């Protein structure tokens, strides 16, 4: 199942939602692709979705839940990847 919170997170002059799957990252990536979200929107265990795509995500089947519920669902599914446990990306070659 796919879930997202309401767009409440400001960044770069826009509001954003978080989109997660409690099944797999493969399900999450496939849904994000159908939504038209770029892969660069993936952050460890969720996609950052701009407010203008919120209605489309709901129409495609994502369930709206509070932000705290997203974290609980990720933990219960074993898919939570906290920032402090994720290895930093190596610098891009110049």
Which one has a higher pLDDT value, 94 or 68? 68
Output the CA torsion sign for 82, 9, 65, 25. Answer: negative
Contact status, residue 31 vs residue 62, Cβ threshold 8 Å: yes
Q: Which domain holds residue 52?
A: 2-81
Contact status, residue 35 vs residue 29, Cβ threshold 8 Å: no
Query: Does the residue 91 lie in any domain?
Result: no
Query: Does the residue 90 lie in any domain?
Result: no
pLDDT at 92: 57
Whether pLDDT at 23 is above 60: yes
Count of domains forming the chain: 1
Burial of 66 (0-12, 13-18, 19+ CB in 10 A): exposed
Query: Does the residue 92 lie in any domain?
Result: no
Whether pLDDT at 80 is above 90: no
In this prediction, residues 24-49 reach a mean pLDDT of 95
């Amino acid at each position: 199942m796919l879930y997202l919170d309401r767009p409440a997170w400001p960044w770069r002059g826009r509001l954003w939602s978080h989109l997660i799957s409690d099944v797999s990252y493969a399900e999450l990536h496939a849904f994000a692709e159908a939504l038209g979200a770029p892969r660069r929107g993936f952050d460890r265990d969720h996609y950052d979705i701009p407010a203008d795509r919120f209605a489309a995500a709901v129409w495609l089947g994502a369930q709206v839940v509070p932000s705290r519920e997203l974290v609980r669902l990720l933990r219960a599914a074993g898919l939570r990847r906290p920032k402090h446990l994720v290895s930093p990306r190596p610098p891009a070659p110049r």
